[in-house]
Chain A
């Protein structure tokens, strides 16, 4: 009878130990599942945010296709075509504009466009040179007047002549290395 009780006690002890092991394993599994759930939630959140951002970018790209084409056409400056346009513009207002000293400019680290500069020169009355200067300042290209020199041409008699020399810098997305 005594041995019987001892056996039952041992069996109960083993069952109790197994139950505690199972309880510990259950706690371990619970925390492990919780960590997995948090990781999955974080991954899902990141994926949703990334998809949302990609959708925003695609929408912006699709809605600005025409605008970007206009901008690309504006920045794709052909130096020869620009020179022809300046000369034709000068001719249309009755002044001859001479162009020269075209040199490529070093590209800054932040710029994605190449640049070149050239010098425009014209002679005429003060008013006509102001019109030439106005044309050069409003060229339909990403250009800006860097330097301007306006001087009177020494002349004997007749109306006063002025000499205009302007240095212009132009940005372009076209290759100007060649």
Chain B
């Protein structure tokens, strides 16, 4: 804690006496070092961000196109086929009903219906 306050005190003193020849050189060095440090930090950040973006693009390319959600077609061929089969069965039943010979009438329920 003491060391840090000493550093800030030195910086404040250097900045306040920056016009003096003895401190001007030191202030220029500190300013230049700070600029270098800032530049290095910016370049490092750019590298990190750029690398992450590059890796994300590589991952996207490796994963390929995203899977499309299957949307059902408006025309259901299975349903159409089943309907046609039902139509065919109905036509066969009609032909059978028309062409079958007349049956005797053994189960006429009128036998038990009271006549008026």
Contacts and interface: CB of A to CB of B under 8 A. Distances in A.
7 contacts: A56-B73, A60-B77, A92-B99, A126-B108, A127-B102, A138-B94, A152-B113
Interface of A: 23, 27, 30, 34, 37, 41, 45, 48-49, 52-53, 56-57, 60-61, 63-64, 67-68, 70-71, 74, 89, 92-94, 125-128, 131, 134-135, 138-140, 152, 154, 160, 162
Contacts of A30: 50, 53
Contacts of B113: 152
Determine the main DSSP class of A at the interface with B.
helix
B110 A138 contact: no
A37 B102 CA distance: 78
A45 B98 contact: no
Given A93-B98, A131-B102, A140-B91, 7 more contacts: A30-B53, A56-B73, A57-B73, A74-B87, A93-B102, A128-B102, A135-B98
Contacts of B1: none
Nearest to B106: A127
A71 B87 CA distance: 8
Interface string B79-95: 01101100100110110
B97 A134 contact: yes
A140 B105 contact: no
A67 B116 contact: no
Contact of B94 (A41, A71, A140): A140
A45 B94 contact: no
Contacts of A57: 73-75
Contact of A127 (B75, B87, B108): B108
A160 B110 contact: yes
Given A45-B68, A126-B110, A152-B110, A67 B81 contact: yes
Contacts of B99: 92
Nearest to B96: A138
A64 B80 contact: yes
Which of A48, A71, A126 has the most chain B CB within a 10 Å cutoff? A126
Contacts of A89: 94, 97-98
Contacts of B81: 67
A48 B65 contact: yes
Given A125-B108, A131-B97, A160-B110, A94 B102 contact: yes
